[in-house]
Structure 1
Amino acid sequence: MAEVNISGARKAYGTLNVLHGVDIEIRDGEFVVLVGPSGCGKSTLLRMVAGLESITGGTISIGKNVVNNLPPKDRDIAMVFQSYALYPHKTVAENMVFALRLQKQPADVIKQRLQAAAETLDLVPYLDRYPRQLSGGQRQRVAMGRAIVRSPQVFLFDEPLSNLDAKLRVQMRKEIKELHQRLKTTTIYVTHDQVEAMTMADKIVVMQGGKVEQIGTPLKLYDRPNNTFVATFIGSPSMNLLKGQYKADGAIFVTETGDEIGLGFTPAATDGQSVLLGVRPEHLSLAERGLKATVSVTEPTGHETMVFLRYGPGELVAVFSERHEFEPGQVVTVAPRTEKLHLFDAGSGKTLRLD
């Protein structure tokens, strides 16, 4: 196991700059998730750590060694791909130990590592089967087993669950997290799915446009986003953003329709400043006083009810843990939980809540 330090990492393809000076410190044994929309540079960064992409500028260190110019085989990493990348003509056992045989490891070491990995991943009954005889989840476990037998310093996962159905994705999330808890191997995991990031990570790195927007624990990013991008990307459904102005007398947010909402905190804003009020859907509740909105669509899921509301020129989404029966066109009044409010500058999108 080892720490991974990425300092000022840049990547360019000719005149096209993909990564713009990325800095990330990953502690020994930490599970770090790189998350962001398609094209943000997260997979490119992972491939640079793996040695599959060259680095244009900056440094990448694994342990105490700068690995910028090391080939992948000398970096002591193991990578699990989205496509599994299994040899179809080899059995599960042959796929898992292929790299060890290339390294000319002793037969007893190969056997021992294969057995240990197969038991860890519940693959013992499938060792003599071929990939075509396995389900998607079993193939993914084989790909993980191939990485485990190498006992690397760092595991790299590149969107490994994107080919699985929703139910199997949930199961595999749990299995990967349990695996990390047992092995304690430093892990870098790439996904575009913020639910995966929230449920699996010790630390999340949110990326956009080749830059890091924010780094922190899942709950820190959820509770205290640095800007509107992080606020709306982390959390499902996304945070509601209302346009309006800040009224310094009383620390009040005034909506475009003239409604006033007390913030309960003093932001780093000036009187009359154009701002965005952020409130998560689950932090809205039915009230006698608040924002009058019109029901558009209701989505009951059993354990909660999601309601889309028309408010002024925009839309609000509310999530209620209680069961409600709303009719389209019904007017309701909702109010936010004051202690859960966020405030952002309308121009830059940066947070104005500094507590």
Structure 2
Amino acid sequence: MHALLAPSAAPRWGYCAGSVVLSALFPDHQSDAAKEGHDAHEVAFAIATGRVRPKNMTREMEEGARLYIDAIQSFNWPSNVWHFEEHTDAHLIHPECGGTPDAWGFHDGTLVIADYKFGHGFVDAVENYQLICYAAGVLPKLDGQQIDRVVFVVVQPRNFHRDGPVRKWEVSYRDLMPHIDHLRTQAEEALGGAPTFSVDGSKQCKYCPGRHACPALQQSAYDACERSDTSLPLVLAPPALALEIKAMQRASDALSARLSGLEEQAFASIRSGKPVPGFAIENGVGRLDWAVPVDQIVKVAAAFGVDISKPAALTPTQAAKAGLDDAVIKQYSQRPAGKIKLVPVNTSRAAKAFGKSESEK
């Protein structure tokens, strides 16, 4: 049973206090991806604590769990300082806030909060409200001990990001507290009787189960539609260009979130026997694939005189786990550049790159 102010939803209610009410009115149903993530977490927990591994464990889940455990062991701390899957009450934020961090540890003035994500969508460790909620739950357990720094770790084996699958954000105890204060303010407003709805963090709107009924998202989507009808027959100067791009990105996020929510509502309506004029449900066609194990179809094809097998080497990551020397891997492997795209500059990330925290500037 999730807390009313679940840390996993903090990236949402940390921006939009009203999302808590909507989420309670329209509870989300567990998707296949969520179930897979739950299974992957069970595998990681079992391996980390030496328990019997679940029968539904896949090779990909095992490899992901190994990466997660390697990230934890990279701190070279005694094993008894680590805590796995222990519930914490984040009363520093609100009595209704609490959850279960994947792992946390404290040693020599450093607190580490580690989070394992098996999904594909990018999760940033920097200013991650979910992990900050977990830290708020752990801090009271360390009463009387000096806390110099907090390190947040996100391990995401199936997201191919330029920073790699293990990403960290290090912050001092002093610089962490304003984030906790902000979440406390948002939590009090969320359960205070008259919460406001906001699309400032509209990238999170698409995950809100109540987005189809959100008045702020509806208005934002309508505003975006109106802006799309206007034209600017001029070449913008760089400062104006930056403002226009940001405005269009916010509008695009709002439209996407609103549309996905309405589509889910339409699906539910049609499935319950209530037609939606002009729309119907149909199954798409997936990629053609073998319906039997690969080894079996290879043998069948060989019986007909056709060799359809293909040799496959381990990936560089798998080769490293198999014992191949890192120097050899670096010499014979490469990470090709991805598609060039325009990205916003994160000022806190830039400060981190130049070795300055917000308080030092």
Query: Could you say which TM-score interval applies, normalised by the shorter chain?
Result: under 0.3
Report the structure, 1 or 2, having the larger helix content. Answer: 2
What TM-score, normalized by structure 2, do the two folds share? 0.25
Greater share of strand: 1
Q: Normalized against structure 1, the TM-score is what?
A: 0.25
